[in-house]
Amino acid sequence: MKFFHTADWHLGKLVQGVYMTEDQAYILDQFLEAIKLEKPDAVIIAGDLYDRAVPPTDAVQLLNQTLETIVIDLKTPVLAIAGNHDSPSRLNFGSKIMKSVGFHIVGEFSHPFEPVILNDEFGEVHFHLVPYTEPGKVRHVFLDDTIKSHDDAMKKIIDKIDDIKDEKARHVLVGHAFITHNGEEKENTSDSERPLSIGGAEHVNDSHLKDFHYVALGHLHQAHHSGIETIRYSGSPLKYSSSEANHKKGYLVVELNGEGEVTVEKRLLTPRRDLYIVEGYIAEIERHSHCEDYVFVRLLDESPILSPMERIRSVYPNAMHVERTGVKAPTLTDSESHGMNRMKLDDLSLFKAFYKEVKGLDATRETEQLFEKTLQKILEIEGER
Amino acid sequence: MKFFHTADWHLGKLVQGVYMTEDQAYILDQFLEAIKLEKPDAVIIAGDLYDRAVPPTDAVQLLNQTLETIVIDLKTPVLAIAGNHDSPSRLNFGSKIMKSVGFHIVGEFSHPFEPVILNDEFGEVHFHLVPYTEPGKVRHVFLDDTIKSHDDAMKKIIDKIDDIKDEKARHVLVGHAFITHNGEEKENTSDSERPLSIGGAEHVNDSHLKDFHYVALGHLHQAHHSGIETIRYSGSPLKYSSSEANHKKGYLVVELNGEGEVTVEKRLLTPRRDLYIVEGYIAEIERHSHCEDYVFVRLLDESPILSPMERIRSVYPNAMHVERTGVKAPTLTDSESHGMNRMKLDDLSLFKAFYKEVKGLDATRETEQLFEKTLQKILEIEGER
């Protein structure tokens, strides 16, 4: 049996105020092409189909068209779960009706479990679809007060799956969680993932999952295995933050043979516009050739630059962010330049330092007086309010 | 062929701040029972399934469960369209996938049309599902600048349906619009319907629809026919405003014979709590027996009543609104009691009149002084801001 494993589409996502829907449509088109060519037996989407509980309508339309194409036109079953960004009940709508046509989606966590069963020449493969769930919900469903963390919750869920596991079949778990190897955290997180819990109890030990023939995960946006090669994140199909600049985005092709052995291949997708970091001096960057990519620019210049974004966008019209890593406030000593110390400067000194930083010249006495007069006036007006 | 015609469920509706979801679940339960007993060949829901574009999640769950029961458990096809309260694209989600299982929903208006075809022993019945649509959208789809009003839009749509109409089949139109007989308006509107356009161009002449064997409409909450007996509103299954107090709520059972002749029967549903107007004096009303219904109370008392809602709710705990139709301000002359004149009174006179109305006594000099002092203080504080 061969299936595609993808996750974290985040349809409807805004990156730095830019809607990614067109980029998402572009990448999903390639994904559909790949399904058409390779004819997998199923497509797994391991959560975060949408970026938020109530996605914009064009994201709803994009997901609808994509799923219709896979399920109806390409006659390929889809196995999907809700992630922490999705609304369980909204994603659940129609799930029972769509099941019989080959679209299996589990939005809301519930028990008893019922795997989706697909067949190949070697027999049955059971897909266990576990949507993202708060530990409190699992505690409530099983009336088990010992469940406190995500780790406790996943352990309980796996125990319950074990109870119904048909030993003759092969088993695939589809989940959306923060899985780490024996509790050690590797550097696999990105800025575009929303923490699952505040205070650190979000990690789930991969040892709970080791008895499945394959575990298809969503949540972390970088493709990797947990440390156990059959427990994998496919990663998101697109870069959603500058911390993902060096990721290679795509999806996984998983082949499961009759013995339950797995081979995994990563296939890359080509984005409409890449997303990466450009570092350099403004004068250098202005000599780059015109480029539509989503760039995050780090300017090394130490001297003041007026309208840096405007200048950068003449070359990179879709630049997302400019940061000035080379800047030091020239009139301040090192200790003064520290934010906390700056706040201790009086208003006039602060103004003078700012003026010099921007204009490259000291403020004249006349300018200082104008500043003081204006500030005085503002403070008076504010006092009257 | 026998089908049920219903509309305007408005799941997720708030009436006077009260969520109607439990009442809606109660009434839909009866509706499901009726389907189980009478085994219609189809169920038509003519728009406004939800009360708003993004309904609360319990409304999504209620619709999901109801549709799953009808389609999966009772194996009865559902034919539904979006109304003006629904989000076309959100309601459209999964429509192509769910079609093959017997759930036919058209959220978004699009062309070419394709009727849903059901069969009985006499042949085919074609159901033409026309969701609520802005005239501008119809103008755009057909590139026809002459379409200005809802009437123009419906006429165009019907013309287009005529082009593909199979004359051997029987034809049912499902629509969500404000249909009137030859443009005359009868007293069929309620306060819980949202106008389709501001300025009056919302009416559609029923003569455009007369060539269908049956027209199943939604939008107006009172069950009635347009003046042509085959063009009908089923009305909403529940009362959603005090203007609907006298409506008989339910659904229609439509039988279509082999000649395309129609018989319509109205079936009533019993709400968990009725909704009506109670008129009387407070002392009378307090002697009523305890009642859980949603009442709108009109008090005839002329004298002041303290905490009238509290007193009413001791008998009618779910009272929704209290109005005092018998009140006259006792210390003011008739001309003074007019709102505009009241505004001309100085603050002290206004206070004295109010005091007398509430307490039934003249304010003492001491009370007046206290009022003036307090008012003075408030005005000073406001002046300082």
- Least CB-CB distance to B97: which of A89, A92, A98? A98
Q: Distance (Å, rounded) from C-alpha B208 to C-alpha B180?
A: 11
Render the burial of A58-96: b for 16+ CB within 10 Å, e for the rest: bbbbbbbebbbbbbbeeebbbbbbbbbbbbbbbbbbbbb
DSSP code of residue A50? B
Which residues of chain A lie closer than 8 angstroms to B385, CB-CB? 385
Q: Distance (Å, rounded) from C-alpha B302 to C-alpha B281?
A: 9
**What CATH code would you report for A2-268?**
3.60.21.10
Residue B245, classed as helix, strand or coil, is: coil
* Radius of gyration, CA atoms only, chain A: 26
Banded pLDDT at B337 (limits 50, 70, 90):
very low
Q: Distance (Å, rounded) from C-alpha B248 to C-alpha B238?
A: 9
Q: Distance (Å, rounded) from C-alpha B218 to C-alpha B213?
A: 17
The shortest C-alpha distance from A72 to chain B (Å) reads 7
Considering only CB atoms, which residues of chain A are within 8 Å of chain B?
54, 57-58, 60-61, 63-64, 67-68, 71-72, 87, 89-90, 92-98, 100-101, 103, 385
Whether B92 and B108 have beta carbons less than 8 Å apart is answered as: yes
Select the highest-mean-pLDDT range: A337-351, B47-61, B171-185: B47-61
Q: Distance (Å, rounded) from C-alpha B385 to C-alpha B383?
A: 6
Question: Chains A, B: CB contacts under 8 A, how many?
Answer: 72
What is the structure's pLDDT at B238? 95
Contact A89 B63 (CB under 8 A): no
C-alpha distance from residue A165 to each of A99, A113, A159 (Å): 21, 10, 10
Pairing label, strands B250-256, B262-268 = antiparallel
Q: Distance (Å, rounded) from C-alpha A78 to C-alpha A69?
A: 11
Six-digit token string for A12: 């409807």
Contact A90 B385 (CB under 8 A): no
Which residues of chain B lie closer than 8 angstroms to A68, CB-CB? 96-97
Tell me the backbone φ, ψ of residue A270, rounded to 5 degrees.
-105, 115
Sheet architecture: strand order including A294-299: A275-280, A294-299, A321-324
B33 compared with B330, residue with greater pLDDT = B33
User: What is the torsional sign of CA B355, B361, B362, B368?
Assistant: negative
Whether B328 and B337 have beta carbons less than 8 Å apart is answered as: yes
DSSP code of residue A72? I
Contact B100 A101 (CB under 8 A): yes
Nearest to B1 by CA among B99, B69, B77, B100: B77
Whether B299 and B308 have beta carbons less than 8 Å apart is answered as: yes
Whether B46 and B83 have beta carbons less than 8 Å apart is answered as: yes
The shortest C-alpha distance from A170 to chain B (Å) reads 28
Nearest to A244 by CA among A191, A194, A283: A191
Which residues of chain A lie closer than 8 angstroms to B89, CB-CB? 57-58, 60-61, 64
Q: Distance (Å, rounded) from C-alpha B57 to C-alpha A81?
A: 17
Q: How far apart are the first and last CA of chain A?
A: 72
The shortest C-alpha distance from A82 to chain B (Å) reads 15
Is 60 exceeded by the pLDDT of residue B305?
Answer: yes
Residue B301, classed as helix, strand or coil, is: coil
Residue A303, classed as helix, strand or coil, is: coil
Cβ neighbours around B377 below 10 Å, total: 10
Nearest to B135 by CA among B119, B118, B153: B153
DSSP code of residue B87? -
Taking CA–CA distances from B103, the nearest residue in chain A reads A97
HSE (side-chain half, CA atoms, 13 Å) at A207: 6
What is the structure's pLDDT at A337? 47
Taking CA–CA distances from B107, the nearest residue in chain A reads A61
Banded pLDDT at B343 (limits 50, 70, 90):
low
C-alpha distance from residue B378 to each of A383, B363, B373 (Å): 20, 20, 9
Helix axes A347-359, A365-384, angle to 10 degrees: 130
Torsion of CA B62, B65, B67, B73, to 10 degrees: -160
- Least CB-CB distance to A96: which of B72, B89, B93? B72
- Least CB-CB distance to B71: which of A64, A67, A97? A97
C-alpha distance from residue A62 to each of A11, A20, A25, B141 (Å): 8, 12, 7, 20
Domain boundaries, chain A: 2-268, 277-384
The shortest C-alpha distance from B102 to chain A (Å) reads 9
Q: Quick check: bond before A131 cis, omega within 30?
A: no
The shortest C-alpha distance from A200 to chain B (Å) reads 29
ipTM: 0.74
Q: Distance (Å, rounded) from C-alpha B321 to C-alpha B314?
A: 14
How buried is A322 (Cβ within 10 angstroms: 0-12 exposed, 13-18 middle, 19+ buried)?
buried
Stated as kind and residue range, the H or E segment containing B250 is strand B250-256
Sheet architecture: strand order including B2-6: B103-106, B78-81, B42-46, B2-6, B250-256, B262-268
What is the rounded average pLDDT of the residues B247-274? Answer: 95
Contacts of B4 (CB under 8 A, 6+ apart): B31, B34, B35, B38, B40, B42, B43, B44, B251, B252, B253, B254
- List, in sequence order, every residue forming a beta bridge with B277; answer none if it has no partner: B296
Average pLDDT, chain B: 90
Which residues of chain A lie closer than 8 angstroms to B95, CB-CB? 64
DSSP string, A322-368: EEESS---TTS-HHHHSHHHHTTS-HHHHHHHHHHHHHSSPPPHHHH
Six-digit token string for B363: 């304010």
Contact B68 A96 (CB under 8 A): yes
What is the structure's pLDDT at B361? 79
Cβ neighbours around B287 below 10 Å, total: 9
DSSP string, B49-76: SBSSSS--HHHHHHHHHHHHIIIIIS--
Provide the H-helix boundaries in chain B.
Answer: 21-38, 57-68, 88-92, 95-99, 135-142, 150-164, 282-285, 308-313, 339-342, 347-359, 365-384
Six-digit token string for A141: 């469903």
What is the structure's pLDDT at A351? 86
Cβ neighbours around A205 below 10 Å, total: 18
C-alpha distance from residue A376 to each of A156, A258, A369, A371, B376 (Å): 65, 82, 10, 8, 33
- Least CB-CB distance to B72: which of A54, A60, A97? A97
Contact A101 B103 (CB under 8 A): no
pLDDT mean values, one per 10 residues, chain A (385 residues): 97 91 96 96 97 93 95 96 94 90 94 94 96 95 94 96 95 96 72 71 91 96 94 96 93 96 95 95 94 94 87 94 74 47 71 79 88 88 74
Q: CA B296, B17, B292: angle at the middle one, nearest 5?
A: 45
The shortest C-alpha distance from A62 to chain B (Å) reads 10
The shortest C-alpha distance from A29 to chain B (Å) reads 19
Task: Give Cα B42 to chain centroid, integer Å.
Answer: 23
Cβ neighbours around B147 below 10 Å, total: 22
For B346-382, how does the pLDDT look when each residue is reduced to its tens digit (9 = 90+)? 888 888 888 887 777 788 889 988 998 998 888 888 7
Q: How far apart are the first and last CA of chain B?
A: 72
